[in-house]
Chains A and B, each alone.
Chain A
Amino acid sequence: MSAPTTRPVRTGRPTGSAASAGTAPSTGPGHSAPRARSRLRGRSHLIGAWLITLAFILPVYVAFVSAFKKQDQIVSNPAAPPIPFTFDNIVNALSRPDNLVQAGLLNSIMVTTATLVILVPLSSMLAFYISERSPRLRGALLAVFALGLMVPPQVVLLPIVTLLRSIGLANSYAGLILSNVGGGYLSFAVFVYVGFLRTIPREVVEAARMDGAGDLRLWWRIVFPVVRPATATVAIFLGLWVWNDFLNPQFILGPLQGQTITTGIYVSLGAYSTDYSQLFGIMFLAAVIPVVGYLVSQREFIHGLMSGASK
């Protein structure tokens, strides 16, 4: 890594591809020895990177293969691939008498879908409304909504439980969904939408307004289609957070009325379960929807995280 001045300027690399501080191999066109050396370095870097990645992700790998191994295989050699392969854990998880997995998944799908179906239009309309207000009112409203980004859910949990009890929605899905819609998630969605709306030229909205479109129609015909990337971010992140939420379902829904998949796992896998074949079978089924969803939408996922992170 010495004598950086003698190194030829890199060519033919897209900018932004290798911003790592000096670890990027510099290719030297016309110099076969440096090129061979840098290719070698590139390959050892690749191998090293894979080793680090695999070591980091080892617990996920163990959980994944264990879903398809028998108990003694899991304990005797946790890292071994699932040979012989068994579907027993999955079948057993799905044929539990308490219907934990099916009921939990169904409830989670229901709560997550209902929350998103209400929250997405509500928050995008609210964000559009806020963006159209005078700077002072807009600033005030955004300041109020910023609170929701910071307040830990434990802080507002007790009054929400009491409030829902007093309006007859204690331990109900409606109560859980309403508190999802009105809580910190709304703040997150509003900020994503307002941030995105700021990048939309005023003319787009004004032109449609000149044509006499009312605000509601304006939102539906112009704004909502234009903010689709923001909707993807909101839907992906809120979907994941609501799906994975533990605290709110645990205490707002309560153990008696039903379980989301997250609270269901917590309650039924108990405090001291070492029946790994059962545990990993159930966890595979619980994790497969968010993980597949992530893999399918990862481009939007990472993009959303980056645009959120750069604000």
Chain B
Amino acid sequence: MPSRSLRTGRSLGLAPVAWIAVILYGMFLLYPLVQSLFLSFTDKNPLQAGSAFVGLANYRELLSDDRLLSSLLFTMIVVVAVTVVANTVGLLLAIVLNRSSANYRVMRTLIFIPQVLSGVIVGFIWRSILTQNGLLNSALAQVGLIDEPVAWLGDSQLAVLSVCTVVSWITIAFATVVYTASLQSVPQELYEAARMDGAGVLGRFRHVTLPMIAPGTTISVVLCLITTLKLYDVVAVLTGGGPAESTQSTAFYLISVAFTDNRFGYASSIAMFLLALTAVVSYGVTTLLRRRETNL
């Protein structure tokens, strides 16, 4: 029946609009995707006309690029830390805040605010807190906890920790809402039944809560991974990738290769690598967690 309506001409009104949308999508997503792949085999420089085919040279360079490797290492640290922290804290917060009174509704509303602010604003808020003569150091000095300012953003290791903290902060806000939604879909009868069977707090958590929220866990974890893999805004504002490129994410490195070094060709090969990484990680983790859902 649907396919006949296509032929009778009654759907003529809708088809052109639909195809305009498809064409725009082709222009601004599919074509750029293919073009990115194509560019990754060239030495394209936006300041010069034309470009030469260089084969796999860019991909060979990827393998021996120390800056890419260190950006990848940093990205992986942030991805793992943020995914673990955000999902653990998010679930705990959701459990604590999962009550129906007005107080708890207000708290849940407040918790989500970091998600509403842009990464740039979040970055500036935290930068004014964490910078050398920033608000955290001045507060710590006032209560006598430190004698001289701590370089939260100026020391390589502390800067990595700072970025992880800030990104976790943003992501916790998201995870809390997803886990709250999941918790609210768990039938109360299951808790009563578990209680009758003599299950304690941990037992009920382990045997009722965790299996019942498994689909929510999958969504929260996978979205944490995907968003953190393209980490850019917060790093740009908070540390600018520094000190000494210690907080340079792969997405940030890609942009600086493209627009500071003007190497679109090489940047495209990094883009292809980032795309493959995102696809493999999100597909792999989704499969893993879906299997876990059925096993729990």
B259→A269 contact, CB < 8 A: no
Residues of B within 8 A of A196 (CB): none
Q: A20-B96, A184-B29 are in contact. Are A154 and B184 (CB under 8 A)?
A: no
Distance from B112 Cβ to chain A, minimum over Cβ atoms (Å): 7
Structural contact, A125 and B21, CB atoms closer than 8 A: yes
Does B55 reach chain A (CB closer than 8 Å)? Answer: no
Stretch binding the partner chain, chosen from A31-39, A49-57, A91-99, A226-234: A49-57
Whether A186 pairs with B25 at a CB distance below 8 angstroms is yes
C-alpha gap A121/B169 in the complex (Å): 35
List residues of chain B with CB within 8 A of the CB of A240: 116
Residues in B neighbouring A181, C-beta threshold 8 A: 24, 28
A128: chain B residues within 8 A (beta carbon): 14
Q: Would you list the 8 A-B pairs with minimal beta carbon distance, nearest first?
A: A216-B13, A182-B28, A182-B24, A244-B118, A22-B201, A156-B32, A17-B100, A159-B32
Question: B18–A52 contact, CB under 8 A?
Answer: no
User: Does A68 have its Cβ within 8 Å of any Cβ on chain B?
Assistant: no
Residue of B whose beta carbon sits closest to that of A290:
B116
| B interface SS class | helix
User: Is B138 located at the chain interface by the 8 A CB criterion?
Assistant: yes
Determine whether the beta carbon of B25 is less than 8 Å from that of A182.
yes
Residue of B15, B186, B205, B255 touching A154 (CB-CB under 8 A): B255
Partner of B177, one of A59, A78, A302: A302
Is B53 interfacial (CB 8 A cutoff)? no
Residues of B within 8 A of A262 (CB): 118, 120-121
* Residues of chain A lying within 8 A (CB to CB) of residue B25: 144-145, 148, 182-183, 186-187
Asked if B64 is an interface residue, CB under 8 A from chain A, the answer is no
A-B pairs with CB below 8 Å: how many? Answer: 325
A residues at B contact (CB < 8 Å): 1-2, 4-5, 7, 9-10, 13-24, 45-46, 48-50, 52-53, 56-57, 59-60, 62-63, 74-79, 121-123, 125-126, 128-130, 132-134, 141, 144-145, 147-148, 150-163, 178-179, 181-184, 186-187, 209, 214-217, 219, 240, 243-247, 251, 262-263, 265-266, 269, 271, 274, 276, 279-280, 283, 286-287, 290-291, 294-295, 298, 301-302, 305-306, 309-310
Tell me if A163 and B27 are in contact (CB < 8 A): yes
Q: How far is B135's CA from A76's CA once the two chains are assembled, in angstroms? A: 8
Q: Is B287 an interface residue (CB 8 A)?
A: no
Which residue of B22, B110, B111, B230 contacts A126 across the interface (Cβ within 8 Å)?
A: B22
Which of A126, A132, A144 is within 8 Å of B11, CB to CB?
A132
- Quick check: is B156 within 8 A (CB to CB) of the other chain? no
B36 at the interface (CB under 8 A from A): yes
Near A by CB (< 8 A), chain B positions 230-245 give: 230, 232-233, 236-237, 240
Residues of A within 8 A of B22 (CB): 126, 141
